[in-house]
Amino acid sequence: APCPVRCFMLYEQITLTLLAVRGVGPKSVAGFWERKELPESAMELHALISEGAIERLKAHPSLDEIEENWNHSISTLDQCEKEFITVFGRTNPIPPRLAAIPNPPLLLFAVGESQLLIDRSIAVIGTREPTPFGVKAARRMARVLSENHWVVTSGLAEGCDTEGHLG
């Protein structure tokens, strides 16, 4: 079969598509990757899910839902490319130190010089609803860390994680 336009990021596209399905989490997607064949279309992915490729899935998504998620994943990856956002996953492996942790992320999106992820890095994390003091503290902490040659990383969750990037 001819390679789809996004062949080089097919793993990442499928991962994004699956994670958008209700009831599918990282463990289910990791189990899915034990398969040897990759679906090259939303229809093929839907067929695999219907055949039980995702263990313990209570409700199977409709073909329309899979197609919507599939198209959204293509848009997301296209936008990453346009905005110079590095996507780590299976095609472009996650940095070694992060890959070595228990339950590493399936995907990692990085803005900036992604080579820095191999260097000293630290995450500024906290509540999603920080107080004004928490906002100030997260920003100051990140600023001081970066001034001392630490790379500030996070999952970009709302709240303290985001404030750490603004510091």
Per-residue pLDDT of 5-39, as tens digits, reads: 445 689 999 999 999 998 898 888 888 887 767 89
DSSP letter for 89, please: B
Count of residues for the chain? 167
Cα distance between residue 116 and residue 114, in whole Å:
5
Per-residue pLDDT of 56-71, as tens digits, reads: 788 889 999 999 999 9
- Of the ranges 14-18, 72-76, 119-123, 127-131, which one carries the lowest mean pLDDT score? 119-123
**pTM (2 d.p.):** 0.73
63: Cβ contacts below 8 Å, ≥ 6 apart: 42, 43, 46
| Cα 73 to chain centroid, rounded | 11
Cα distance between residue 98 and residue 85, in whole Å:
18
Q: How many CB atoms lie within 10 A of CB 32?
A: 20
Residue tagged 């390679």 (tokens):
3
